[in-house]
Chain A
């Protein structure tokens, strides 16, 4: 399969603080992965994992300190490359006194689309994202969800081969969320390559073919969704409640997937090992752990992998 987006040993650092005392934060650490044509690739990670930095680096808004990013085998900075992809940033903003129609006409012209083709493309795209009836109203009157749709419309207007969507579902109500999902699935059906990040793991699970899990700037795993969730399909999350340090030490020594959430220690346990682990916990002095959730398979996989990275 043809690789149309590739990250090779990409690292990125941010500098903040005072100029005499700079603080450097590593946002991306030697990230490697490829996205092949037709893929729907989902990027997931906790807040601050580096997802948005990675996406901005992919589209050329940020330059990597080390490594190389290629889209269609070329630099994302090249004009010809930019003609072939679309990008929706998280919570996009548009000039409030212009209408969605005017905004699309402007972006369309920047892509070199003109005349009747431009007008029909704008209409088609606005209908696709469900904004046609409000197309001529100033954006000032749009809700957050409607602005998100304008963002999606400008991303799709020039019919890109590769689409980057940064949290496309944020700001949308449940119906809007479903409609956005349908649009993405429609693009997938047409063969458009989609790269998106989301906090909503259920959406990633439903839409994506492949998924990348990021943590503290590292790409922990890139895997087919089906293969990834297979091993975690029946995980159970156990809450340990208030435990003494001695008990906690014993549980930690069992080297299970553990994490602390809202001051409560939790364990992710594969269902088939549940009875065995319950017995070991009992032996360690913990007789009644509570079952917090069965979790979605992807959620379980994600939490387990990030917890492993924390303890590593």
Chain B
């Protein structure tokens, strides 16, 4: 654990110096710009758009942070032999891989916390009530979890892809597809095509399901769940596939299990491949 922590904190330090400040700065600028642009709208519309835009930005910045951390930096280390120096030190390869995921997770957490904080400051500055509340923080937290899963997916692809662009394309494509597998499955199930349905079902379980973590569309429903009942959630048109998913009846429990099991499995496969890889 000590070695993982050392590698993780070193990755964090490295990334902090590297790109993250620029990313945060750009985000701050864009949020300020949009907040000013929204100035002419009514209070209610402005709050709703600020929340949606805030979550979208958090997801977008998280996506790019993971891509830069795991794809670009990991390849840089492999290509430029830093990894050869590290792999002859008294550490195991799983320390390195877990450290990489830990470092990018720490950065993601810091990044997203700062963004929520920044949005809160801007909302206060503009005198907007209800932009940042518990439901928003929960939705942002699930986007963070989605970022952790994406981080593991990106590490997995670095093993198989031979170039940075190829790896970035594979990871991004999987991320995009992972947001539509639930919809795709629902759509195919309605068709009378058993073979196609089976195939899509296999894909549904193979491809990481990022849509589980996108709660931003169900913010009102989550608010109702926190203070109301499951019936209210259904009444609001909440995603029933999430609520009826195995292991939990709440939209915020099932993704945790999913991340734990799917993430661990993918991490183990990556580790197995890492152990066999030669540098």
How many residues of chain A have a CB within 8 Å of chain B? Answer: 32
- CB pair B91–A56 under 8 Å, yes or no, is no
Q: Is B48 an interface residue (CB 8 A)?
A: no
Interface of B with A (CB < 8 Å)? 3, 6-7, 10, 13-14, 17-18, 80-82, 84-92, 278-279
> Smallest CB–CB gap between A19 and chain B, Å?
13
Residue A23 lies at the interface, judged by CB distance under 8 Å to chain B: no
Q: Are B88 and A93 in contact (CB under 8 A)?
A: no
The verdict on A63 contacting chain B, using a C-beta distance below 8 Å, is yes
Are B89 and A56 in contact, with the CB atoms below 8 A? no
Instruction: Return the chain A residue nearest B17 by Cβ.
Output: A97
Q: What residues of chain A have their CB less than 8 Å away from a CB belonging to chain B?
A: 56, 59-63, 76, 79-80, 82-83, 85, 87, 89-95, 97-98, 102, 106-107, 109-112, 138, 151, 154
User: In the bound complex, do residue B85 and residue A89 qualify as a contact, i.e. CB atoms below 8 Å apart?
Assistant: yes
Once the chains bind, are B80 and A93 in contact (CB under 8 Å)? yes
On chain A, the residues within 8 Å of B87 by CB distance are 60-61
- Distance, CA A89 to CA B79, complexed state (A): 13
Distance of A250 from chain B, by nearest CB (Å): 48
Residue in B17, B89, B91, B279 whose CB lies within 8 Å of A98: B17
Q: Are A61 and B279 in contact (CB under 8 A)?
A: yes
Determine which of A82, A102, A106 lies in contact with B88 in the assembled complex, contact meaning CB atoms within 8 Å.
A82
9 new A-B contacts at CB < 8 Å, known A87-B84, A97-B14: A56-B84, A60-B87, A62-B278, A87-B85, A87-B88, A95-B82, A98-B17, A110-B7, A151-B85
Chain B: CB-nearest residue to A80: B90
Q: CB distance B89 to A89 under 8 Å? A: no
Q: Is the CB of B80 within 8 A of A110?
A: no
Minimum C-beta distance from A184 to chain B (A): 19
Chain B positions within 8 Å of A111 at CB level: 89-90
Least Cβ–Cβ distance between B76 and chain A, in angstroms: 8
* A–B pairs, 28, beta carbons within 8 Å: A56-B278, A56-B279, A60-B87, A60-B88, A61-B84, A61-B87, A61-B279, A62-B278, A80-B90, A82-B88, A83-B90, A87-B85, A91-B81, A92-B81, A92-B85, A93-B80, A93-B82, A97-B17, A97-B18, A98-B13, A98-B14, A98-B17, A102-B13, A107-B89, A110-B3, A110-B6, A111-B90, A138-B17
- Complex: A91 Cα to B81 Cα, angstroms: 8
Kindly identify which residue among A61, A79, A98 contacts B92, using a CB–CB cutoff of 8 Å: A79
Bound: A276/B88 CA distance, A: 53
Q: Provide the residues of chain A in CB contact with B14, threshold 8 Å.
A: 95, 97-98
A97 to B20, CA, bound (A): 12
Query: Which residues on B sit within 8 Å (CB–CB) of A97?
Result: 14, 17-18
Q: Is the CB of A110 within 8 A of B89?
A: yes
> What's the Cα separation between A80 and B89 when bound, in Å?
10
Give CA–CA (A94, B279) in the complex, Å: 16
Give bound CA distance, A98 to B17, whole Å. Answer: 8
Q: A95-B14, A97-B18, A106-B6 are in contact. Are A89 and B81 (CB under 8 A)?
A: yes
Chain B residue nearest in CB terms to A140: B17
Q: Can you name the residue of chain A whose Cβ is closest to the Cβ of B95?
A: A110
A111 to B2, CA, bound (A): 11
B8 CB to nearest A CB, Å: 11
A57 to chain B, nearest CB (A): 10
Chain A contacts for B86, CB-based, 8 A: 110
Give Cα A128 to B210, complex, Å.
52
Q: In the assembly, what is the distance between CA of A112 and CA of B89, in Å?
A: 11
Task: Verify A89–B6 contact, CB threshold 8 A.
Answer: no
Question: In the assembled complex, which residues on chain B have CB atoms less than 8 Å from the CB atom of A83?
Answer: 90
Cβ–Cβ contact A79 & B90, under 8 A: yes
Are B279 and A92 interface neighbours, CB within 8 A?
no
| Residue from A56, A106, A107 whose CB has the most chain B CB atoms within 10 Å | A106
Q: Say whether A106 contacts B10, CB under 8 Å.
A: yes
Max chain A CB contacts within 10 Å: which of B3, B84, B86? B84
CA–CA, A79 and B2, complex, Å:
14
- Tell me if B278 and A92 are in contact (CB < 8 A): no
Chain A: minimal CB distance from B78 (Å): 11
Q: How far is the CA of A154 from the CA of B81 in the complex (A)?
A: 14
Closest residue of A by beta carbon distance from B7? A110
Q: Are B278 and A154 in contact (CB under 8 A)?
A: no
Judge whether A109 and B6 touch: CB under 8 Å: yes
Which A-B residue pairs are the 9 nearest by beta carbons?
A93-B80, A97-B17, A82-B90, A87-B88, A110-B89, A79-B90, A95-B14, A59-B88, A83-B90
Q: How far is the CB of B89 from chain A (nearest CB, A)?
A: 5
Across-interface contacts of B88 in A (CB, < 8 A): 59-61, 76, 82, 85, 87
Decide: A89 and B278 in contact? CB cutoff 8 A.
Answer: no
Question: How far is A154 from B84 in the complex, measured between Cα atoms in Å?
Answer: 12
User: Which chain A residues border B13 with CB–CB below 8 Å?
Assistant: 98, 102
Expressed in whole angstroms, the Cα–Cα distance for A228 and B10 within the complex equals 47
